[in-house]
A = this chain, B = another copy of it.
Amino acid sequence: MTSIRNVQNTHISEQLRQLHGALIDIVSVMNRPQRDEAMVRAAGIALDRALFPLLVGIERLGPIGVVEMADRVGRDHTTVSRQVAKLESLGLIERKGNATDRRVREATITAKGKAMTDLVDAAREKMARAIFASWDERDFEELVRLMRKFADDMKRDVSGDD
């Protein structure tokens, strides 16, 4: 192995560590005393901390079953089963059996639930616009493109050899 190659490898390792650090910071901010929850609470609605990611996920990915959702959030399917049931009883989502596979009971967001995620989305967008206000357009577009690409390749890789 040439020393040039070593340098490059070292450089990539450093870059990867940088990237991981940035991801930690981002997740850290997203974890803050649950900004979303605080938001909604301020709007007069209360929702258990644990239910929020699920509601958002169902809005984004629905109709979606319990198992797939559990895989997404990294929790046991029984845990998610209970939480989804709670969201249903609150009228924030509804479920109906899938036509072709009657084992799955797909969850979809209701108007009431959507009203809630819309509030949160608006708050998030406002925050995001503040963050990107000082960015030039090229960088912004590039971030979106590369982040999307990264997420896709990550998913592909994980499902591939796992």
A115 at the interface (CB under 8 A from B): no
A67 close to B (CB within 8 Å):
no
Number of interface residues of A (CB under 8 A): 59
Whether A140 lies near B29 (C-beta < 8 A) is no
Q: Mark A126-162, 1 if CB is under 8 A from B, else 0.
A: 0111111011000111111011111111110110001
Q: B146–A130 contact, CB under 8 A?
A: no
Task: From the candidates B29, B140, B154, name the one contacting A26 in the complex (CB within 8 A).
Answer: B154
The residue of chain B having its C-beta at the shortest distance from the C-beta of A18 within the complex is B144
How far, in angstroms, from A134 to B72 measured CA to CA in the complex?
Answer: 25
Q: Which chain B residue shows the least CB distance to A156?
A: B131
Query: Is A111 engaged at the interface, CB distance under 8 Å to the other chain?
Result: no
Binds B, one of A8-16, A39-47, A87-95, A99-107: A8-16
Given contacts A131-B154, A157-B130, contact A139 B144 (CB under 8 A): no
Q: Which residue of B lies closest to A141 (CB)?
A: B15
Residues of B within 8 A of A131 (CB): 150, 153-154, 157
Cβ contact of A19, chosen from B13, B56, B127, B147, cutoff 8 A: B147
Known contacts A16-B125, A154-B131, A34 near B147 by CB under 8 Å: no
Per the bound structure, the CA–CA distance linking A142 and B150 in Å amounts to 12
